[in-house]
Each structure stands twice: as C-alpha cells, then as structure tokens.
Amino acid sequence: MRIALVALSLAACSGGSKTPTKEDGGKVPTPDDAALVLPAPPPLPRVPDGLPKPQLPDTVTPEAVALGELLFWDPRLSIDNKTSCATCHDPARGFAGAKRQNTATGKPNLRRAPTLIGLAWHKDLGWDGRYGSLAEHLPAHVLGQMGADLTYVVTRIAQVPGYRAHFQRVSDATSDAAIHALGAFVLTRYSGDAPWDRVERSPDAPKDLVAGYQLFQTKAQCSVCHTPPLYTDHKYHRLGLITSPDEGRGRVDEAQKGAFKTPTLRDAAKRDGFFHDASALTLDAAIDWHLTGATGQGADPKIIDPAIKKLALTPVERKQLGDFVRALTDPRANASAKPTLP
C-alpha cells in the first residue's frame, strides 16, 4: 500500500519518474505527498437567474468550497465527534434544523437552526443578527454549538493526509483556511430555480399559482417582509412568539426586543420545523399563525408588527396562498449527499 501511494504521488508530481533526482534535492516523497495531488475542484455554484448578484469576498474560491463541503459534514469538528454542521443544518431539509437540537455539549438549544440558503445576501448573522461577519461568527458558533475550539480541531484535522493538501491550497494559516472554506461553502448555497421562478414571467403560468402570488403581494401582505426575489427583507419583526424566554433582536437593540430575522421562504417546504423556537410544526401552521394575527401565545397585539393582520381568506384563497409558498421550493437545489471524508 505504501509503495503504491508513493508511486501514485510521483507519477502525478514528477511526470512518472520514480527516482529522486538532484533537482528535487534527493528528497524521497512520503506517502502523505499523495494527498497533494487533488483533482481540480468543480467551478463555483452558479447564481440562479433572477437573483441579484451577491457580493462575495474573494476568499470564495472553488478550492475553498471543496474544502468547506468536507468540513461541513465532518463530525471531527465537534467535542463529541458526532455532531457536524450538517447535523443541525441538514441539506435534505433546506440546510435548516427541524427542532431545537441539543448542542454537542448536551445543552438544549434556545433556537432552531435557520436555513443557510441565500446567506450571501445577509448583512448580519443569527436570528438576532448579533454577528457582523462569518469570521466573527464561526469560532463562537463552533464553540457554542459543537463544544470545540475551532483552531484546535482544525489543526488536528489538517494533519489527516487527505485534508492537508486541501488546507494548503486554501490558505497558509490553517484556521483561516477553515473559516474561509466553511464560509465559501455556506455563502454559495443558492436556491432560485423553483417551480414559480420558471413560470413567473410566462403567459402560461397556472392561474391558481398567479392568484396565490397576487394574494401574497397584496391582500395578505406577505411580501412586505418576505420580499421577492429573495423572499426576505433581512430585517427584524415581532410575531408574538413570546413563550420562549428569548429577547431576540433585543440583544443588539433594546427597542427591538422580541423581534427575529425574517427567514427566506425559498426552500421552506423542505423544513420540518418553523419559527426561531420551532413552535410551528408544519409550513401551513406557520402561514396560519400570520393569518390569525399572531396572538396565539397571548402576546399583547400592540407589540406585534403592524404588517401582521388577522385575515380571513376563503378556503380557495388559502389553498392558493399555500401552494404559492410551496412553489418557492426547488426540490433539486443543493441536493448534495455526504461526501467521502478524508
């Protein structure tokens, strides 16, 4: 096995010559050098037509995304060696968490994991937006959710032969490489080619779907906050979800106590828990919460965002609205499975 690996690395690195030469200083390649020969990474994911052009940092490269995808799935980033980013931000569920998953330290989470779809357009991070950048957010997040010191765990992982070359081609400093790579992966999770996107401008768009869109835009006023084409305004609003002890945006701005960031409705039908506290179990329950005026937990109507109004829709209208929201989910977007980890 050792010999086979050495041969492979030599064949790839020095055009097939198997004998160390004067030019390479007579250095005999170690088996680990085989890892230096990585296939070219796939190109950056394409931003779907119809979405604004995101402003990505120049650390978002194909090489960084390739490493980021591996790290995203790797439980060795956590203290219990069992929890990866994907455990909570499940790609099959639109990169969101269904329930308030315990952290890797066994501590219950106050909030459920929000979707990572469309993150490239976010100005700040967290349900309360208390972080201004991924560089600030990720080390704190890995400590809080995965119980681990990011620099420590990635320094360890970077020594795994299959990882070493990945880290080296992203950045000289290992922990920078991990942050750039995880960032590059999560910032390029787009969804923008859902059934509605494909018919939106077509004269043949199904009549019920167009009616659902019109309800969304006008009578039901959903678009005030879930503004197309990203289906979020990236702002904070109060929806009367008061039973869990969470001040939300109040952590940043006292005046916005109890407000939470508007989640995008793209790929929402893949989620199986809704709202920051996972208090709505289905997409329809989350929609109905808005339509009943958001007073179900006994909140004083005065604190609820004025754009949330009690609204009686006919059964036909209610179905049209629900079907429209479902038509914002692209079943094929980001359907990537767990990669083989080094």
Q: Can you give the binding site for ligand HEC, defined by CB under 6 A?
A: 77, 83, 85, 87-89, 97, 101, 103, 109, 111-114, 116, 119, 122, 125-128, 141-142, 145-146, 182, 186, 220-222, 224-226, 237, 239, 241, 260, 262-263, 265, 268, 271, 274-276, 283, 286-287, 290-291, 305, 307-308, 325
Least separation in angstroms between CB 13 and ligand HEC = 32
The tokens for 16 are: 């097939």
Q: 32 vs 323, which CB is nearer to ligand HEC? A: 323
266, 118 in Cβ contact below 8 A? yes
Q: Nearer Cβ to ligand HEC, position 168 or 244?
A: 244
Looking at the Cβ atoms of 13 and 252, the one nearer to ligand HEC is: 252
CA gap 48, 192 in Å, rounded: 5
HSE of 270, CA atoms in CB hemisphere, 13 A: 27
Residue 340 Cβ vs ligand HEC, minimum distance, rounded to whole Å: 19
| Closest CB to ligand HEC among residues 33, 89 | 89
Q: Is 289 exposed, middle or buried (0-12, 13-18, 19+ CB in 10 A)?
A: buried
Closest CB to ligand HEC among residues 33, 305: 305
CB of 151 to ligand HEC, least distance (A): 13
114 vs 228, which CB is nearer to ligand HEC?
114
Q: How far is the CB of 315 from ligand HEC (least distance, A)?
A: 15
Nearest 5 degrees, angle CA 200-CA 202-CA 204? 115
CB of 173 to ligand HEC, least distance (A): 18
**Phi-psi map region of 28: left, alpha, beta (phi>0 left; psi -120 to 50 alpha):** beta
- Are 324 and 216 a contacting pair, CB within 8 Å? yes
Task: Measure the CA angle with vertex 151, ends 59 and 124; round to 5°.
Answer: 50
Instruction: Find the Cα–Cα–Cα–Cα dihedral 140, 144, 149, 155, rounded to 10°.
Output: -80
Tell me how far, at minimum, the Cβ of 33 lies from ligand HEC, in Å.
Answer: 29
Q: How far apart are CA 208 and CA 329, in angstroms?
A: 17
